[in-house]
Amino acid sequence: MIVLDASTLILMAKIELLSPFLAGVESQVAIPTEVERECCGVKKTLDALMIQKALEESRIQVVAVKNPKLIAKLQADFSLGKGEAEAIALAIKEKAELLGIDDKNGINAAKLLGIPFTTAVGILVRSREKGLLDHSDALAKLTALAEYGRYKHSIVEDARRRMEPRK
């Protein structure tokens, strides 16, 4: 199972990487209830509608995390929002193969808890490596990601280098 946090899911939808990603993974993709609420509950932006469509088509599953003590502990220990804490709790509960998270405190929590994780940039690079995107499309998505996400210039440039065609 791959668990996604709201930040990663929204960034993937904004740069139109969500559909190619979902088409290219064989694992079940899941989000906790709070992440669904954060992504689709209030505003009806294009990214929210894209996420809602993936949920309606069952390409992403919503899984309730029924461990309020763990969620509260994660929030307190790592200064996490409820969505990030639920995503990490779900990743722990389901022994997820991967957690998609772009929140700095969430990344630190994943590192400390030994949860394998990636970011929207990592998913973009991997999608390019797997041939789900051609070079120019991947670079366009990286440019959009640099605009929407709060990534250091060095992270964006490293991703750009990693997506260069093999010689």
Please tell us whether the domain made up of 2-120 is placed in CATH 3.30.450.20.
no
| Domain residue spans of the chain | 2-120, 124-162
What confidence score (pLDDT) does residue 31 get? 97
3-state secondary structure 80-141: CCHHHHHHHHHHHHCCCCEEECCCHHHHHHHHHHCCCEECHHHHHHHHHHCCCCCHHHHHHH
Predicted local distance difference test score (pLDDT) of residue 139: 94
Number of neighbouring beta carbons within 10 Å of residue 137: 15
| pTM higher than 0.85 | yes
Residues of the chain with pLDDT under 70: 167
Looking at residue 108, its pLDDT comes to 96
**Rg of the chain (C-alpha set):** 15
Q: Return the biggest CA–CA distance within the chain.
A: 52
